[in-house]
Structure formats: C-alpha cells, structure tokens
Amino acid sequence: MNPLLDFSGLPRFDLVEPAHVGPAIRQLLDENRSLIGRLTAATAPATWHDFVQPLIDAGERLSRAWNMVGHLHSVNDVPPWREAYNDLLPEVSSFYADIGQNLALFAKYKALAISSEFTGLSSARRHIIENELRDFRLSGAELPEDRKPRFKQIQEELSALGAKFSENLLDATNAHSEWITDEADLIGLPDDVKQAAHDAAARDETSAGRGKWKFTLQAPSYLPVLQYSDNRLLRARMYRAYATRAAEFFDAGNKPEWNNGPLIAQTLALRAEEAQLLGYASYADVSLAPKMADSPEQVAAFLRDMAQKARPFAEKDVAELRAFAATELALDALESWDISWVSEKLKQARYSFSDDEVKQYFPEPIVLAGLFRVIATIFSVTIAPDQAPTWHPDVRFFRIEREGQLIGQFFIDLYAREAKRSGAWMDGPIERRRMSGTLDEVIQTPVAYLTCNFPAPVGGRPATFSHDDVITLFHEFGHGLHHLLTQIEDLPVSGINGVEWDAVELPSQFMENFCWEWDVLSGMTAHCDTGQPLPRALYDKRIAAKNFQSGLHTLRQVEFSLFDLLIHGSAAAGRDVMEVLAEVRREVAVLMPPAWNRFPNSFSHIFAGGYAAGYYSYKWAEVLSADAYAAFEEAAAASNLGTTLDAATGERFRREILAVGGSRPALESFKAFRGREPSPDALLRHSGMVL
C-alpha cells in the first residue's frame, strides 16, 4: 500500500519515498473531484451530514497526504523531494483554485445557509458555513466566467513562486561558507561555536586545504559570529553574504537563477491583479477580509502609533550604542555588522553577563523537562515519550494526556540541518475531529510538528540553548497547544483552523512570558558542566537586561510590518520594493542598513508563507497575548504565592482560548477569558516602554 494513503494511524515516515507522491496525490485528487461531481449533481437539498461532512472527510485525506509531502520538502529539501513536491504543486494548486470557483458548490453552501437546518446547527458548524461562503467569494466564485481562468492561473503561479522563493533562499544560504585557518581569527567566539565550526569542517569532504573551521549562513553558525566575533572583517563578510542572499549580487555564493528579486515583483503584480479581479482596492484589503483588523488604514495607524511610542526608547538605545562603541571599542563608525557585537559588549558591561554564559545553564534535556512541567502545571496534562516513525534520527515523539486520556501527540525536530529550511514553525498533519462513518464515531486525536533550527550537540555534550532559543521553543509550543488542546470536533474550526490570522499568534506569544519567571527558569536549568541550577544573581541580571534595546526591537518589527502592508497597498503598485522599504525606514527606523542590503529577498514570511499583508499580526497579537498573561500576573499577586503558574487561570485560558479553536471570533474568545476588550497597557509595561 502507498504509505501516503495509509490514514489508519501516524504518518509512515519510515516507508514514504518521493516515488509515492505522484500516484497518491493524483488518486486523492481524483477521489475528491468525483465526490464533488456527485454532490453537486444531487438534486436533494444540501445538508450537513450528506453534503458538508463528506467534503470535509475527503478533503482531510488529501490535506493529510499533501501536508506530509510539504513537510518533507521543508525538513529534507534534497533534490528527489524537491522534484516530487514541485511536480505535484501545480496540480494541487489547480484543484483548490477550481474548488474556490465552483459555482455549483457555492450554490449548495448558500442554499444550506438559508435553510431551516442552518439555524439548528451548532454555532461552530454555522461558523464553518459562513467561512466557506466568505472564502468562495475571496476565491473568485462570483467572478464572471470569462475572468475565472485568469484568476485560477494567478493562484497556480503564486503557489509556484512561493515554493521557488523558499528554495532559492535555502540554496543561497547553503552556498556560502567562511573557512578559517588561523585560530587567532576566532577570538571572541564561544568554545561551543568554535567546536561546531571545527566539526562542520571535518564533515565537509572538500575541507582539504580550505581551513580548520567552517562557518555558514545557517542561524546557529551565523548569529554567534555577528554577536561575539572580535574579527570585524569576518563579521563584515558574513553580514554581506547573509544580507544579499538570493539577490542580484553574485559574489557571495549566489547564482543568477537564485535571485528572488524578479519573483518578488511577479508575486506583488499577481496579488494586485487578484485584488482587482475581486473588486478590492488592494491585496492588503483582500488579506484583511478574514482577519480581526478592519482595514489597512486601521493597521497602519496601529503600527505608526506603536512606532511613535517606541521611538524615544529606540533613539536612546542607538545613542548608547554609538557612545559605547566610540569610547570603549574605538569604533567611530558603527556599521550594520557591528550592531550585534557592540550590543553584546554593552550588555556585558552594563549587566555583567553574556548570553553565552546564560546558555550554559540551558542543556536541552533540562529545558524540555522544564517546558513540559509548565504545561502540566497550568493545563493539567501530562507529557511522556512515545514511539513513531520519524523523518530523521534526531526527531523525537511525545504524547500528551489529560485525566489519563490521550488528547494529542507531537514530533519535535530541534536542530538546524543543511537540507532544512530556516526558522521555526508548528504544523498539524492530523487534526482533532469526530470521525464520521465509524461505528461509534471516535474522536481523532491531533498530531503536531514542532520544528526549530537550534545548534545541535557538539563534542559529545547535550545541545545547549540560548535564552532566546528557549523563548522560541515556548513560542512554537504555544502554537502546538492551540492545535493539541482543542475540544472542537469539526475539523474546519478545530485547533488553529478558522482562527483569524492576526490572532493566531496569541497562544504562542503568551507562552513566551513564562520564560522570564524565576520559578519557571529555576526549575529548568542545570549547568552543562557542573549541573548547578541558574544562580539567582545571574537571573536577576538577565531580568534587568530583559528590555535591553526593546525600543530598537519594536521599531524593527514595525518596519517589517509597515513595509509588508504598504507594498501590498494600492499606492505601491508597480513601485520597486526597495524604494518603498527606504521610505518606511526613513519614517520609522533609527538605524539604516547599507544600500545593498536585500532584506526583502529573504522575507519568507510574506513571499513564501501565509503572512502577506499580515506580518503586523505579530504585534497585533502581542497586545492580546501580553494582556492575557497579565491575568496570570494578577492571579499571582492575589494569591501571594509568587508564581504565575496558576492552574485555575490556566484552565480558563484553556477553556476559552485554546479549546474553542476557530469556532468563534477571536475577540469573543479573548473577552470570554479576560472579561473585557484587550488593552495595550500590559505590552508596553512588559516591554519597558512606559514613560
């Protein structure tokens, strides 16, 4: 049996091969098309049981198989998997574009929405039907027939462009390396970073005569160089290579065919054309149609207000950097490749600790145990190791139970690899739903992938994570909890499904807050050499530095978000993205990168992900998440126990936010938890931006 067609249990990563993709996906596409044909030809009125549920069931099988293919393309982007994915991508994109424009399907949903059955459905099912009607309209179902082929073609081209953007970026990232022969050139770098570079050189079959240490543009190699290396020339070379990945400059390992610039222009033009066909003023308006925010103008005002609040703090951050660089480091000109290095030196001078010093207290096994303990305490669940086929030996598998019952399982893939795309993400190959057609209609428990790109173990020691890595892990696990702790039994609004995109970051950013609590950190640290827990004095220094350069960090996020919003607006039609980015920087930034910096060419979130005209969602949801966490702070203050790990508040958060998934508007869920509208006060307080 083709393992991609085995839906009896967990994904069969031990059996699936690229050759399975074409036959399996084409069979599932044919099955879905045949079902749609039968359902739309039926003369009986559409009902949930006879119309909607069969579509959900068949669609779930296709999405599970295609999700597995897409996942393997992301974590093992070797030529056979890349070819298998790209061969089927046009067909899958075409299928979904056809569904979105199927007037017969649209008519069935419209008829169901005004039928007597509709009012008797659960609120979750009514919400699903309303979402379907909205999505049909956004997919061009109401377009004149002569415009539908072009709309469909746009969707297919956008899918291909997104995949190519991501592949170009990965190839350009992997193409560049810095070889070091003289250990004197490594001054300032932590020992584990040097060891990892030495191991990388030893593994490289081309290392003969090139050097003893190999540094790459993968985050675990690149970021420590920018942060710690006293070798300014090395920092400059690495920065330029990183900042010009997949760009028109071909002196840093790039190839002409990897240039993402033309893909960006094509993508924006196609999105603008899509918006025009749908009757919207811009693609930003299309993007916001299913989100919490009402309009691009509202989002722009939100971002500019955030920039205004952050700017005084950012200007102070920059002034301190420049003064410290000049007086303590003899750097009169502060270049982009100096920022992280000078910032680290300033932080060490001011707070008497380094990120690397803190990192030694976060070995991977202790961190995972601490994370699981937090989850168990506030959500009354247990997490234990489990068994499943995996796509790589480093991947581990766990189960999560509540009151002795299995409620979900998850894979964790923590380490960076050359064939693995950068960043961190959560995805759900299997979603919670009630299985129709079975004798007792059992509940299908959800499964998640939690993927990061942290440094792997070196020198026979466990991997150690920076505090920022720990925060990233908590963040992704927040997404995982949204997927795993849902109680909704209808798949289209189960877990994160159906949640407005600008609210989907609420649980993930919420979880980050626990990484700053002493009662949490003290229980999830052990020095990798001595086994001693994190000293309170070192924790206090880290807390004192929590909002170090928070103004700069906030403006950076606003810059990305406003750029994303504006290039998808009507005023930017046909304009060069670098011109728009320059204008945004003149408006909100206090640090200017070199003119040759090509940040947009690696902005995967908006050109190869789901955040187009939606990157603002991180800041928008941060308001929600900080306010939600404030409820735990209030519970801690009221109890005088000194801990935010409050099970009663956690149960309310689980019940009103996580459990309901996308079955109701996110604002309703927030108000059900908090008892009021969200306020930005907690975010400003947490960020230290209160004058």
The residue extents of the domains of the chain are: 3-100+102-138, 176-258, 364-544
In the chain the first and final C-alpha atoms are separated, in Å, by 65
pLDDT of residue 253: 66
pLDDT of residue 31: 98
The helix/strand count (H/E) of the chain reads as 27, 9
* Secondary structure E strands in 94-155: none
Query: How many C-beta atoms surround the C-beta of residue 14 within 10 A?
Result: 10
Distance CA 673, CA 509 (A): 16
Whether 178 is a known active-site residue: answer no
Element at 179 (helix H, strand E)? strand 177-180
Distances (CA, A) of 574 to 93, 136, 275, 580: 26, 28, 14, 11
Percent helix, strand and coil across the chain, each rounded to 5? 60, 5, 35
Q: Tell me how far the alpha carbon of residue 558 is from its chain's centroid.
A: 17
Distance CA 127, CA 193 (A): 50
pLDDT of residue 574: 84
Distances (CA, A) of 210 to 55, 202, 205, 417, 529: 57, 11, 11, 21, 32
The dihedrals phi and psi of 213, each to the nearest 5 degrees, come to: -130, 135
Distance CA 642, CA 667 (A): 30
Residues facing residue 409 across a β-bridge = 399, 447
* Secondary structure E strands in 343-492: 382-385, 396-402, 405-415, 425-430, 433-434, 443-444, 447-454
Whether pTM > 0.85 for this model: the answer is yes
pLDDT of residue 639: 87
Residue found by looking up tokens 């950012």 in the block: 314
Distance CA 587, CA 10 (A): 50
**Domain range 364-544, CATH class:** mainly alpha
- Residues 406, 367 contacting (CB under 8 angstroms): no
Residue found by looking up tokens 């603008």 in the block: 272
Q: Look up residue 625 and give its amino acid.
A: S
Distance CA 321, CA 437 (A): 64
pLDDT of residue 254: 76
- Residues 256, 250 contacting (CB under 8 angstroms): yes
Instruction: Give the CATH architecture of domain 3-100+102-138.
Output: Up-down Bundle (1.20)
pLDDT of residue 690: 76
Distances (CA, A) of 591 to 316, 322, 450, 555: 12, 11, 34, 10
pLDDT block averages, 10 residues each, the chain of length 691: 95 97 98 98 95 96 97 96 97 96 96 96 97 96 95 96 96 94 96 94 85 95 97 97 91 82 97 97 97 96 96 96 96 95 96 94 97 97 98 98 96 96 94 76 93 93 95 98 97 97 95 96 93 95 94 97 97 92 97 96 96 96 96 92 92 98 96 95 88 61
Residues facing residue 382 across a β-bridge = 401
Which candidate in 60, 476, 512, 633 is catalytic? 476
pLDDT of residue 306: 95
Residues facing residue 180 across a β-bridge = 213
Q: Look up residue 565 and give its amino acid.
A: L
What the block records as the tokens of 190 is 């932590």
- Residues 373, 386 contacting (CB under 8 angstroms): no
Distances (CA, A) of 511 to 433, 622, 650, 670, 681: 25, 11, 11, 15, 18
What the block records as the tokens of 268 is 């924006």
pLDDT of residue 641: 75
